[in-house]
Amino acid sequence: MLIRAGYEIRFETAVPTAMLALLSIHPTRHKDLQTPHRIVAAPDVPMYSYEDMFGNVCSRLTVPEGGVTLSCEFVIQDDGEPDVRPPEGPQWPVEQLPDDILIYLLGSRYCETDRLMDVAWGEFAHIATARGRVEAIVDFVHNHIGFGYEHARSDKTAWNAYQERLGVCRDFAHLAITLCRCMNIPARYCTGYLGDIGVPKDPAPMDFSAWFDVYIDGDWYTYDARHGKPRIGRILMARGRDATDTALTTAFGPAKLVSFLVQTDEVDDVELHQSAA
């Protein structure tokens, strides 16, 4: 299947302001691109990219006085398959995990494993397999938190989401990640595009989405606590320990977000060729 995706985001500033943006797709999806992926700035400003420690593409720029609009549109091929589920089997002990995976067992800025350890072991210790534990955690978080854009705030942690029982997709992901880590299942935070493909259309404005990966039986598998079931058409942008490592933009000074538009739609070959003509 083919997916057209992109965004247009505008910031306004009173003075030139340095900015870091994780608005590119992840390098693991580059091979699937059917049209070029380029971030366009208006007005045109110098911009360069590098890869961070998690393999994400980070772009650096200085927002000029007055502001900047960042936009991108591309078409990408996707296999159209739902999220793959891990095999059943005993959970690997911590001693067998690779060294570079251990970081995804540790507490982080938004994932306070120390505060949720007793909750996790009280709820999930009786489940025998890693897959069983993860799917029980996903069901728990999906039913525990009520979704609403009005419940978003930048300082909300997994512990806050557990207590308040309200949040957005990043809060679902943070709580699920934290509970997995408490059960010694490595988990990492992911962000990217997830359109209404294969599901009823959501009337709310499109946004970027958050989900998480777990490390089971030597590989990573995707889960989504907000939606509670496998989805199709995910386009990964960034991943890390939590939302700190995957912030779409970080301004090193005052910068006001004044407009935000995201699109993710399935297209067919005929429509693609017509738009290119």
pLDDT digits (tens, 9 = 90+) for 226-277: 999 999 999 999 999 999 999 999 999 999 999 999 999 999 875 665 555 4
**DSSP letter assigned to residue 33:** B
Residues of the chain within CATH 3.10.620.30 domain(s) are 94-232
Number of alpha carbons in the 13 Å side-chain half-sphere of residue 262: 15
pLDDT at 8 over 80: yes
Q: Quote the pLDDT of residue 203.
A: 85
**Proportion of the chain above pLDDT 90, given as a percent:** 92
Strands 187-194 and 209-216: antiparallel
pLDDT at residue number 277 = 47
The predicted model scores a pTM of 0.94
Query: According to the model, what pLDDT value does residue 205 have?
Result: 81
CA atoms 88, 89, 92, 93: torsion sign: positive
Q: Are 239 and 192 spatial neighbours (Cβ–Cβ below 8 Å)?
A: no
CA atoms within 13 A on the CB side of 195: 20
Q: Where in the chain is the domain with CATH 2.60.40.2250?
A: 2-80+248-276
The pLDDT of residue 34 is 97
pLDDT classification of 206: cutoffs 50, 70, 90: confident
Level-2 CATH architecture, domain 94-232: Roll (3.10)
pLDDT for the residue numbered 81: 95
**What confidence tens digit (pLDDT) does each residue in 21-45 have?**
999 999 999 999 999 999 999 999 9
State which amino acid sits at residue 132: G
Q: Tell me what pLDDT residue 268 has.
A: 82
Give the architecture-level CATH label for domain 2-80+248-276.
Answer: Sandwich (2.60)
